[in-house]
């Protein structure tokens, strides 16, 4: 049985950092955001190891697939095209979508077998991608859902730094919808799941990771390796955190974020906490 830990949450939530930390367990291999694989292939982007994706030792076997599967590496299957359409029709069990899901699981299976790891981590954070996987999950896979939450003010500050023209309200609604959609997903599925907080992940990394491992029935780890030794072949994500040997929790948003952003985040945080503890 292959276990797939699927990370969901907003962008700028620390998912790449979490993905890499999970990879400190010898049973686990971190993949990054596999939803972007065809974009990497089409545009010959570099894996985080520094090699172009088509010659990276992790991804070569998947890219050099059978002729019938080559179609999945064209623009029709770029995530911002394919999953946008899937979000509209939500027909996860159509013949086309079943075949694509089978292709995705065959990729996971190849990685698991070639790396001799029984647990994979995918930090794609796309609910339609996750719905597709859950709806078409084969008997030899078990999908566990890991929800990562960052303080809303910290999130909109990071988002604002990258996309200055985005409104605070738009980002806050996106932040809250991430949690709401996560809960809606769980109502209709029985997959093992856990919510963790970015602050806990930074301030108490080892215990937070071992809590995840306990929930997902994975052997715990006694210590964390240096972060620079992790994430050699992950796709996409923010590599900043994995280049530091010391884990830290930054609160620079308290100085950088405009007062209006801080004030606007308060009702969203209160609402989240109410429903989180109510449903816990």
CATH classification of the domain holding 122: 3.40.50.300
Look at residue 242 in the predicted model and tell me its pLDDT: 55
pLDDT exceeds cutoff 60 at 31: yes
Look at residue 279 in the predicted model and tell me its pLDDT: 63
Compute the distance between CA of residue 208 and CA of residue 198 in angstroms, rounded to an integer: 10
What is the arithmetic mean of pLDDT over 235-254? 72
Look at residue 50 in the predicted model and tell me its pLDDT: 85
The percentage of residues in the chain with a pLDDT greater than 70, rounded to a whole number, is: 93
Compute the distance between CA of residue 120 and CA of residue 108 in angstroms, rounded to an integer: 8
Look at residue 271 in the predicted model and tell me its pLDDT: 83
Share the mean pLDDT of the chain: 87
Assign 219 a pLDDT band (cuts: 50, 70, 90): very high
Compute the distance between CA of residue 277 and CA of residue 217 in angstroms, rounded to an integer: 24
Give the total number of structural domains in the chain: 1
Look at residue 244 in the predicted model and tell me its pLDDT: 52
Question: pTM value?
Answer: 0.93
For residue 10, the enclosing domain spans 2-279
What is the arithmetic mean of pLDDT over 159-168? 88
Say if CB 24 and CB 225 are below 8 A apart. yes
* Residue in the structure block whose two tokens are 């799941």: 193
Non-local CB neighbours of 76 within 8 Å, separated by 6+ positions:
82
Look at residue 246 in the predicted model and tell me its pLDDT: 65
Non-local CB neighbours of 3 within 8 Å, separated by 6+ positions:
118, 119, 120, 141, 142, 143, 144, 216, 218
């Amino acid at each position: 049985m292959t276990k797939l830990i699927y990370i969901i949450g907003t962008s700028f939530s620390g998912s790449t950092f979490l993905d890499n930390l999970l990879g400190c367990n010898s049973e686990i291999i971190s993949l990054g955001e596999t939803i972007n694989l065809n974009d990497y292939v089409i545009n010959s982007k570099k894996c985080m190891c520094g090699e172009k994706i088509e010659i990276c030792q992790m991804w070569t076997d998947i890219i050099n697939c059978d002729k019938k599967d080559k179609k999945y590496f064209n623009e029709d299957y770029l995530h911002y095209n394919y999953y946008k359409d899937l979000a509209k029709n939500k027909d996860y069990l159509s013949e086309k979508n079943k075949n694509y899901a089978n292709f995705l699981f065959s990729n996971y299976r190849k990685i698991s077998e070639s790396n001799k790891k029984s647990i994979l981590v995918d930090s794609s954070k796309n609910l339609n991608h996750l719905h597709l996987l859950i709806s078409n999950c084969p008997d030899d896979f078990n999908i566990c859902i890991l929800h990562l939450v960052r303080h809303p003010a910290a999130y909109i500050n990071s988002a604002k730094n990258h996309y200055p023209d985005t409104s605070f309200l738009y980002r806050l609604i996106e932040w809250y919808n991430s949690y709401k959609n996560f809960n809606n997903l769980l109502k209709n599925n029985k997959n093992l799941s856990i919510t963790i907080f970015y602050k806990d992940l930074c301030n108490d990394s080892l215990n937070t990771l071992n809590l995840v491992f306990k929930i997902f029935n994975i052997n715990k780890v006694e210590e964390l390796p240096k972060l620079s030794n992790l994430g050699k072949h992950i796709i996409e994500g923010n590599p900043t955190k994995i280049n530091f040997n010391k884990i830290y929790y930054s609160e620079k948003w308290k100085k950088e974020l405009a007062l209006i952003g801080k004030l606007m985040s308060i009702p969203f945080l209160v609402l989240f906490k109410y429903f989180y503890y109510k449903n816990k």
